[in-house]
Amino acid sequence: MTASRGAPLTRRSVRWLDQRTATAPYLRKALRYLFPDHWSFLLGEVALYAFIVLVGTGIYLTFFFVDSTKEVVFHGTYYPALYGQRMSEAYASVVHLSLASRAGLLIRQTHHWAANVFIAAIVLHLFRVFFTGAYRKPRELTYWLGVTMLTLALFEAYLGYSLVDDLMSGMGLVIGYSVGLSLPFVGQNLMNWLFDGMFPGSPKLWPRMYIAHVLIFPILIGLLLGAHLLLVAMRHHTQFRQRRAQTERTIVGVPAWPGQAPRSLGLMVGTAGFLFLLGGLVQINPIWLWGPFHTYSSTNGAQPDWYLGWLIGALRLVPSFDLTIGHYTLVPNPFWGGAAFPLIVFGFLYLWPWLERRFSGDHEFHNLLDRPRDAPVRTAIGVAMVSWVFLVFMAGSADRVNVTFGIAYTSQIWVYRVIVWVLPVLFGFTTWWICRELQAGEVVLRERHTAEAEARLARMQRTES
Amino acid sequence: MRAVLIAAAVALALLFVGTAAAASGTPRDPLAAYGYHLYGEYCLSCHGANAAGRYHEPSSATGAGPGRAQGQQGGIGPSLHGVGALAADFYLRTGYMPLRQIGLQPRREPLVLGEHQIRALVAYVATFGGPPIPTPKPARGSLSQGLSLFSEHCAGCHQVVAQGGYVTGAVPPELTEGTPRQVAEAVRIGPYVMPKFSQRAISDRQLDSIVRYVEFTKSPARPGGWGLGFLGPVPEGLVTWFIAIPLLLALCLMLGSRFRPR
Amino acid sequence: MRRVRTAIVSALVLLVGRRRARSAKPAETRIVPALPPNPAAEVAVLGLLGLSSLSALGFILIYAFGSDLPDVTPLLGATMGLAFLFLAAALVVVGLKLVPTEQIAEYYPPHEHPPDQQVIAELVEESGTRFTRKRLLKLGALGAGGTLGLALLAPAASFGPLFHVGDFLRTPWRRGRRLVDENGRPYKASDIEKNDFYLAFPEGLNDEEKEQMAASLVVIRLDPDQLHLPPNLKGYDAHGILAYSRICTHAGCAITLYRAPLFQPDEPKPALVCPCHYSTFDPASGGTVTFGPAGRDLPLLPVYVDSSGYLRAKGNFDGPVGPSWWGVRMWKAQP
């Protein structure tokens, strides 16, 4: 059948595509895929779009970065403070990109802001998924893919800002190395292997970090992301019970085309817009000010990026002890804050769907989401975990609090050591109680509405008769 | 004859007393004399008579210069012998002295003394000997050497861009308010728990570079936009969560639906 | 003002043109419901698209010609960001005001597909009817696969010295080696003054070797009668001069904070502090930890003053340098 002459462009293009790829049936289904339209479902998309910006800006940066720790002398007249200083080629290449190329600083700063926003969006998306029970059967797999992506994103971001080899990130790198060293039995061997020798490692370390950051991790994240989105689509989104028509069997939503597409595209373009705006207007990681890294140098006030702040807090809070058996140092100190703490948190995240199924006895399929108040125990435990992590995170900036507000750092540390255990339990119980009260309040409201409706009905019947 | 000898002895004695005028009594120079008077009003209670220092046990405070640790003795104020105009000028012009409370770290305070009073006190303390007020020349220093030296000697406490920081038991201040003279003085004194860098450790020329670098840190290069206090990841995280995320959340709220109250 | 607005609208209409809303299809056969047009929204979208183009153009111009401007990066970021944001706004208006937002209901896909599951299961089961030693073959396959996997992974062992522990104990310090500053100038004992702290390296190292953790020292001088070194560290100082490893035993940061009280009676005692997690070491007692998370004392290098007054190492550290690992208490630092 030939296309009629004068047929519009759309019809001709779709025909061309379908004839060559046989995808018209799938495209038809995809275009009418239903998206629940609650705003909280867009958080995952924000993370996705931040990832796209990361890849785009990242590719640009790979054309300028030099992944070598070979020492060079800086001769850039555009920044006198570093002139004549010895630094690695890696650091020099980033200083050059930032201060001596046209849009280099914009792209680099956008890249870094995108990383910060990427992880923040994932965390918010994780909160939405956790507190509404979206991870329940049949979506456990989707959820585990997501938690894994969060883990990968943390490593990827840490590698990314460590590649610059400035003073602050170099300090962060040796701390990461020390945490690896502290793993019982295998730590020293593992780190020796990874770094090709004792810190600062061999000249092969930097190319390794670079390849991990620009190839291995992005591919892993990309694959997991694809699988994650595929699973979401195959099983379809969950939904809140906002309308009576939304049930466990029926989904009500906006089709991908034409309703959802401009919104999602708008969100994508808007995310990119905000990131570029930040990338140009708010300075981030001005590495030319920190200077190059040397193992014998350090600065006060060195902090990791926010998403690793919980780890520096943990490292600072653990009291001074190495766990030894005779002469064998079983558990060096950094293990507790740097390895055990995140293992517990991520272990909790991975195990939670199974734990909840086991202790609630609920093995049903769930397509409808809970409001947080509808699952008091889950919400309470979630709040307790979040506050645990958050309090430890706050402890990490106690020194700055001392500088700004005068509260003694040493006292703060002692207070935090107590409250990181006490307050989460308190917050958990309070949350549980609040959820129960809210639920009870709804029952009262419903009863009141029913009683008022009956009274109105009785009044009408009396006036009629 | 005897009278002559006695007179000569008295004259000699007076001469010694006169030349060692700083060691006791009112100095001859009128400015220093006014300083002596002010000393009695503001400093005597902690630094003791004759600026010899005050300790719980009144004994061996005869070492030259302050801070020669007397071991386990308690103390109130160190001896000012040998500290020189350099130290007096620093402590008075920053407001570190008069100290508000013994045992606490001295901090910049609004000055209670006027310019003339400060000069007078400096002149008085100078009569006890010690280094003069330094005259750093930052223009002669090298910015690059300054960063290198500051990084090695100072950044551990004061942060690499001189934004201040923390050391166990003290708060090394940010250096935005430090004039070049004060910075040079502090380096040579080592106030409170700051290390003390003599000319052997940091030459005057190197000090010029450090002072030049400190001046630079008062408005560091910010080609990338708003500098966020040059503190690094902490304010960056705040911007992420309090500016970027709310903007994106607002966009999401605009694009999606919300729960409507029944 | 109205005339201007009319003119602009007319120009846009002429430029872009408006087709008659297509009403060829009867309502019942449409997929997407027909909603009335929204000309105001269209104008808004056009305006936003125009602004986006202008911003993007601005970016190109500034990029090409504006590299000498003082605030190039903020300008580039503002123009690029606005270009995206105006475009986003246009898309939002399209989504909210111009394109129908249908609320459609449909069934979720089935929980499972028993017939297909059945067929798959049968396929697998039936294809194995010729095998009589299934368990043994499975074991064999597992063995072969497992060992092959190990063989494929084995070359990864060469990434680094997986089993070599010795390097962790090696230091560049030998008996008699002089202490030098960053420029190679040797330290005399008289150079080391009280209340100051010094960066020192072994003589003869190049810049790359100086980055070894066991190379750098923090050297201070205390009053000999302030010292109370433990018995095993007696004689490690040279008349009160102490040479500690510069690398914190907690997580490897350089110790660049020295608390040097000016007036000891009122002020905290001397201490070496690490800026990362504030591990605080007491130099007078051999580097013991007085605050912070470090679990191991700071290693001390024994030093002496030679006949010309230069500082030299008397031997090696009293323990391995740097953060702890499983064998850190088993061996002394070796030459």
Q: Do B256 and A98 touch (CB under 8 A)?
A: no
pLDDT tops 70 at residue B172:
yes
User: Could you say which residues from 129 to 168 on chain B have a Cβ atom under 8 Å away from some Cβ of chain A?
Assistant: 143-144, 146-148, 151-152, 155-161, 163-168
Within an 8 Å CB–CB cutoff, is residue B227 touching chain A?
A: yes
In angstroms, the CA C166 to CA C261 distance is 40
**Any chain B CB within 8 A of the CB of C271?**
yes
Give the closest of B155, B227, B258 to A283, CB-based: B227
pLDDT digits (tens, 9 = 90+) for A287-334: 999 999 999 999 999 999 999 999 999 999 999 999 999 999 999 999
Whether B243 is in a domain gets the answer: no
Evaluate the CA torsion angle A86, A92, A95, A99 in order and state its sign: positive
Is the previous residue joined to A258 through a cis bond, with omega within 30 degrees of 0? yes
Q: Which residues pair with C312 in a beta bridge?
A: C178, C304
Mutate which of C263, C267, C269, C289 to test chain B, going by most B C-beta atoms within 10 A?
C263
Question: Looking at chain C, which residue has its C-alpha nearest residue B54?
Answer: C265
| Residue burial A236-263, b: 16+ Cβ < 10 Å; e: rest | bbbbbebeeebbeeebbbbbbbbbbbbb
| Domain-located, residue B157 | yes
State how far the Cα of A224 lies from the Cα of C84, in Å rounded to an integer: 28
pLDDT digits over A99-147, tens only? 999 899 999 999 999 999 999 999 999 999 999 999 999 999 999 999 9
> In percent, how much of chain C has pLDDT > 90?
77
Q: What is the pLDDT of residue A5?
A: 47
3-state secondary structure string across chain B = CHHHHHHHHHHHHHHHHHHCHHHCCCCCCHHHHHHHHHHHHHCHHHHCHHHCCEECCCCCCCCCCCCCCCCCCCEEECCCCCCHHHHHHHHHHHCCCCCCCCCCCCCCCCCCCCHHHHHHHHHHHHCCCCCCCCCCCHHHCCHHHHHHHHHHHCHHHHCCCCCCCCECCECCCCCCCCCHHHHHHHHHHCCCCCCCCCCCCCCHHHHHHHHHHHHHHCCCCCCCCECHHHCCHHHHHHHHHHHHHHHHHHHHHHHCECCCCC
The mean pLDDT value for A29-43 works out to 94
pLDDT of residue B17: 53
**Mutation site, A42, A112, A166, A450, interface B, largest B CB count within 10 A:** A42
**Residue contact C265–B55, C-beta within 8 A:** yes
User: Measured between CB atoms, which of A196, A275, A322 is closest to C160?
Assistant: A196
B165 vs C: CB within 8 A? yes
Q: What gap in Å lies between CA B113 and CA B102, rounded to an integer?
A: 19
pLDDT above 90 for B3: no
Domain tally, chain B:
2
Going by C-alpha positions, the residue among B122, A53, B254 that lies closest to residue C93 is B254
Nearest-neighbour CA in chain A from B240: distance (Å):
6
- Type of residue found at A448: R
3-state DSSP assignment of residue A46: helix
CB contact under 8 A, C92 and A263: yes
- Closest Cα in chain B to A81: B144
CB contact under 8 A, B169 and C259: yes
Residues B125, B139 within the same domain: no
Inter-chain touch B156–C256, beta carbons under 8 Å: yes
Q: What's the confidence (pLDDT) of residue B10?
A: 66
Mutation for C interface: B59, B168, B185, B228, most C CBs within 10 A: B168
Cα pseudo-dihedral B48, B51, B57, B63, rounded to 10: 170
Most C CBs within 10 Å: which of B167, B187, B228, as the mutation test of the C interface?
B167
What is residue C331's DSSP assignment?
A: S
**With b meaning 16 or more CB within 10 Å and e meaning fewer, what string describes B5-24?**
eeeeeeeeeeeeeeeebbee
CA separation (Å) from A394 to A318, A387, A449, B233? 14, 10, 45, 14
Six-digit token string for A266: 């708008």
DSSP string of C204-243, one letter each residue? T--HHHHTSTTT-EEEEE--GGG----GGGTT-SBTTEEE
Which chains are adjacent to chain B, needing at least 3 Cβ pairs under 8 Å?
Answer: A, C
C 263-292 → A contacts, CB under 8 A: 274-279, 289, 291-292
Give CA–CA dist A261/A86, Å, rounded: 52
Residues A402, B171: C-beta atoms closer than 8 Å? yes
Per-residue pLDDT band for B162 (boundaries 50, 70, 90) equals very high
Q: Which of C265, C212, A143 is nearest to B73 (CA)?
A: C265
Q: CA-CA distance, C32 to C99, in Å (whole number)?
A: 10
Nearest Cα residue in chain B from A103: B224
Same domain, B41 and B109: yes
Asked if the Cβ–Cβ distance from C77 to B168 is below 8 Å, we say no
Per-residue pLDDT, averaged over B115-138, amounts to 95
Q: Which of B80, B240, B226 is nearest to A120 (CA)?
A: B240
The Cα angle at residue B246 between residues B244 and B251, in degrees rounded to 5: 100
Of B111, B133, B155, which residue is a domain's last?
B133
Q: Smallest CA–CA separation between B4 and chain C, in Å?
A: 48
Confidence tier at C288 by pLDDT (50, 70, 90):
very high
Instruction: Provide the chain C residues 141-200 that lie in CB contact (below 8 A) with chain A.
Output: 157, 159-165, 167-168, 199
Q: What is the pLDDT of residue A118?
A: 98
Q: Tell me how close the Cα of B9 comes to any Cα of chain C, in angstroms.
A: 40
State whether residue A328 is helix, strand or coil.
strand
Given a cut of 60, whether residue B69 has pLDDT beyond it is: no
Mean pLDDT of chain B: 86
C-alpha to C-alpha distance for C36 and C21, rounded to whole angstroms: 9
Mean residue pLDDT of chain C comes to: 91
Is A213 exposed, middle or buried (CB count within 10 Å of its CB: 0-12, 13-18, 19+)? buried
Cis peptide before B98 (omega within 30 of 0): yes
Helix (H) or strand (E) holding C111: none
The answer to whether A83 faces chain B, any CB pair under 8 Å, is yes
Domain covering C170-313, topology: Rieske Iron-sulfur Protein (2.102.10)
Q: Which of A43, A80, A289 sits opposite B230 (nearest CB)?
A: A289
What does the block give as tokens for B55?
A: 């300790």
Which residues, numbered 143 to 172 in chain A, qualify as contacts with chain B under a Cβ-Cβ cut-off of 8 Å? 167-168
pLDDT tens per residue across span A224-276: 999 999 999 999 999 999 888 889 999 999 999 999 999 999 999 999 999 99
Q: What is the mean pLDDT of residues A19-44?
A: 95
Same domain, B123 and B145: no
- Please tell me whether residues B127 and B210 are part of one structural domain: no
Would you give the DSSP letter of residue A370? P
- Report the residue count for chain A: 465
Q: Indicate the SS3 state at residue A123.
A: helix
Chain C CB contacts of A249 under 8 Å are 107-108
CB contact under 8 Å between B225 and A82, yes or no, is no
User: Does any CB of chain A come closer than 8 Å to the CB of residue C334?
Assistant: no
Going from N- to C-terminal start, the domains of chain C cover 2-17+34-98, 170-313
Q: How high is the ipTM of this complex?
A: 0.92
Cα(C118)–Cα(C110) distance, rounded to whole angstroms?
16
pLDDT-based confidence at B61, cuts 50/70/90?
Answer: very low
Categorize the per-residue pLDDT at C14 as very low, low, confident or very high, splitting at 50, 70 and 90: low
Is residue B17 included in any domain, yes or no? no
Contact B71 C73 (CB under 8 A): no
Q: Which of A98, A300, A304 sits opposite B156 (nearest CB)?
A: A300
Q: How many CB pairs under 8 A join A and B?
A: 192
Could you give the dihedral angle defined by the CA atoms of residues B146, B149, B152 and B153, in that order, rounded to the nearest 10 degrees? -100
Residues of A with CB below 8 A from B252's CB? 39-40, 42-43, 46, 267
Report CA torsion sign: A422, A423, A426, A428: negative
* CATH number where B69 lies: 1.10.760
A99 close contact with B: CB closer than 8 A: yes
CB contact under 8 A, B225 and A282: yes
How confident is the prediction for chain A on average, in pLDDT?
A: 95
Q: Is residue B238 part of a domain?
A: no
Contact of A52 with A40, CB cutoff 8 Å: no
Question: What ranges do the domains of chain A cover?
Answer: 1-31, 39-301, 371-465
Q: Which of residues 304-333 of A touch C (CB under 8 A)?
A: 312, 315-322, 324, 327-330, 332-333
User: Side chain identity at C216, as an amino acid letter?
Assistant: S
CATH number (domain holding residue B188): 1.10.760.10
Which tokens hold the place of A336? Answer: 């507790």
- DSSP classification of residue C254: B
If asked whether residues B36 and B116 sit together in one domain, one would say yes
Residue B59: what pLDDT?
42
Q: Is the peptide bond between C299 and the residue preceding it cis, with omega within 30 degrees of 0?
A: no
Q: Is the pLDDT of residue C17 over 70?
A: no
> Do B252 and A40 make contact, defined as CB atoms within 8 angstroms?
yes
- Using the predicted structure, report yes or no on whether residue C13 has a pLDDT greater than 80: no
d(CA B48, CA B255): 74
Residue in the block written with tokens 């894994």: A148
Considering only CB atoms, B69 lies closest to which of C88, C96, C226, namely C226
Query: Which 3 state secondary structure label does DSSP give C269?
Result: coil
Residue C196 C-alpha, separation from nearest chain B C-alpha, in angstroms: 5
pLDDT of residue A153 exceeding 90, the answer is yes
Q: Kindly indicate whether the domain formed by A39-301 is annotated with CATH number 1.10.1040.50.
A: no
Residue with tokens 């509404």: A132
Nearest to C271 among B103, B168, B255 (CB): B168
Query: For strand A86-88 and strand A250-255, is the pairing parallel, antiparallel, or unpaired?
Result: unpaired
Q: The domain containing residue B171 runs over which residues?
A: 135-220
Beta-carbon separation of C88 and A269 below 8 A: yes
> Is a pLDDT exceeding 90 seen at residue C316?
yes
